[in-house]
Structure 1
Amino acid sequence: MDTLIVHGSDRPSAVREWLLIMAMFAVAWLPLVCLALAFLAVAFVWHLPQAILPPLMWVMMGVLRRYGDREALPGRAVQPGEEPELAAVVRAVAEQVGFREHLLVRITPDPEAAMGRAKVSGARSYVLLLGLPLLRSLTVGQLAAVIGHELAHRQHINNRRASWLLDARCALAQRLEGQGRFRPLTPLARPLLRASQQRVWQAELAADADAARVAGSDNTTEALELLHASVATFDGIGERWLAELAEEHTYPEDFYDAFDAVLRDPFVRRRSAGVVAEQEALDPYHAAGHPPLGQRVAALPPAEGSRSWENEPLTLHAAAAIEQWCVRQLAGLDGPGGHGGTKDKVPRGTKRPPRRGHRYEPPEPVRLLDRDMGQLHVRLDGGDELALLTATRCETPVQALSAALEAVRDGRWPRLARRLEPALRWVPAAERPPAARDVLVAAMGTALVALLRGAGWDYASPWMSTVFTAQDGRVLDVHELLAVAVDSSDPEPVRALLETIGTQEVLL
Structure 2
Amino acid sequence: MSPATARLSALRGWMLVAAMTALAHPAVLLFGLAVLAAVAVFRDWVPFVWIVLPVLAFNAIPLLTHRPRFTGHAVRPADEPELTTLVRQVAERLGFGFPLLARIVAEPEVAVLPTRTSGFRTFTLFLGLPLVRRLTAAEIAALVAREFAEEQHAGDRRTQLLLRARGSLVASIENRLRAPAVLVERLLRASRARVWPLVLAADADAAAVAGTPAIRGALVEIGIIDAAFHALGDTWTEVLGEDGNYPEDLYEALDAALADPYVAPRLAAAATAADEDDPMGIAIEPPLAVRLAALPEHLGLGWDASSPVPLRNADTLERWCVRDLVSAHEVPDEPRPVRLLDLAPDRFEASTREVASRLMQVTGQDSVRAAVAIAADAVADSTWAQLARALDPETGRLPAPMRAAAARAVLVGYVGHVISGALQEAGWPRASRWTSSVLVDPAGGLLDVEELVEYVVDSGDPARVRQLLPRFTAWAVR
1:308 shift after superposition: 4.6
Structure 2 distance, partners of 1:283, 1:382, is 33
Structure 1 distance, partners of 2:179, 2:200, is 32
1:120 shift after superposition: 2.5
Is contact 1:388-1:420 (8 Å) kept?
yes
Residue 328 of structure 1 corresponds to which residue in structure 2? Answer: 323
Count of residues in correspondence between the two structures: 470
- Aligned amino acid, residue 482 of structure 1: V
Within-5 A mapping of 1:115-154: 115-154=112-151
Task: Pick which of 406-415 and 281-290 moved more.
Answer: 281-290
Residue 11 of structure 2 corresponds to which residue in structure 1? Answer: 18
Q: Deviations over 1:432-480 (max 9, x none)?
A: 1111111111211222112211222111111111111223332221111
| In the alignment, structure 1 residue 458 sits paired with structure 2 residue 426 | no
Structure 2 distance, partners of 1:2, 1:364, is 64
Structure 2 CA distance for partners of 1:165 and 1:381, relative to 1, 3 Å: farther
Residue 407 of structure 1 corresponds to which residue in structure 2? Answer: 378
Is contact 1:380-1:446 (8 Å) kept?
no
| In the alignment, structure 1 residue 238 sits paired with structure 2 residue 210 | no
> Pairwise CA RMSD of aligned residues?
3.3
Q: Deviations over 1:68-91 (max 9, x none)?
A: x63841211111221100011111
Structure 2 CA distance for partners of 1:379 and 1:426, relative to 1, 3 Å: same
Structure 1 distance, partners of 2:429, 2:19, is 57
Residue 404 of structure 2 corresponds to which residue in structure 1? Answer: 433
* Equivalent in 353, 357, 374 of residue 346 of structure 2: 374
* Equivalent in 447, 457, 473 of residue 444 of structure 2: 473
Residue 337 of structure 1 corresponds to which residue in structure 2? Answer: none
Q: If the length of structure 2 is used for normalisation, what is the TM-score?
A: 0.88
* Equivalent in 242, 246, 253 of residue 248 of structure 2: 253
Residue 8 of structure 1 corresponds to which residue in structure 2? Answer: none
Structure 2 distance, partners of 1:403, 1:71, is 49
Within-5 A mapping of 1:90-129: 90-129=87-126
Structure 2 distance, partners of 1:24, 1:50, is 25
1:187 shift after superposition: 3.6
| In the alignment, structure 1 residue 28 sits paired with structure 2 residue 21 | yes
Q: If the length of structure 1 is used for normalisation, what is the TM-score?
A: 0.83
Residue 179 of structure 1 corresponds to which residue in structure 2? Answer: 175
Residue 183 of structure 2 corresponds to which residue in structure 1? Answer: 188
Residue 153 of structure 2 corresponds to which residue in structure 1? Answer: 156
Within-5 A mapping of 1:342-361: 347-348=328-329, 350=330, 361=333
| In the alignment, structure 1 residue 295 sits paired with structure 2 residue 266 | no
Structure 2 CA distance for partners of 1:171 and 1:61, relative to 1, 3 Å: closer
1:185 shift after superposition: 4.5
Q: Deviations over 1:337-367 (max 9, x none)?
A: xxxxxxxxxx52x4xx6xxxxxx65322211
Residue 227 of structure 1 corresponds to which residue in structure 2? Answer: 222
Q: Deviations over 1:88-113 (max 9, x none)?
A: 11112112222111222111111111
Q: Give the SS at the match of 2:355.
A: coil
Structure 1 distance, partners of 2:57, 2:448, is 51
Q: Give the SS at the match of 1:129.
A: strand
Q: Deviations over 1:396-442 (max 9, x none)?
A: 11111111111101101112112212222212211111111111112
Is contact 1:409-1:491 (8 Å) kept?
yes
1:16 shift after superposition: 2.3
Residue 396 of structure 1 corresponds to which residue in structure 2? Answer: 367
Is contact 2:388-2:407 (8 Å) kept?
yes
Structure 1 distance, partners of 2:12, 2:100, is 32
1:24 shift after superposition: 3.0
Normalized per residue, the structure richer in helix is: 2
Gap regions ≥5 residues in structure 2: none
1:293 shift after superposition: 0.9
Q: Give the SS at the match of 2:447.
A: strand
1:21 shift after superposition: 2.6
Structure 2 CA distance for partners of 1:454 and 1:365, relative to 1, 3 Å: same
Residue 418 of structure 2 corresponds to which residue in structure 1? Answer: 447
Structure 2 CA distance for partners of 1:404 and 1:72, relative to 1, 3 Å: closer
Is contact 1:383-1:446 (8 Å) kept?
no
| In the alignment, structure 1 residue 482 sits paired with structure 2 residue 478 | no
Is contact 1:457-1:470 (8 Å) kept?
yes
Gap regions ≥5 residues in structure 1: 4-10, 333-346, 354-359
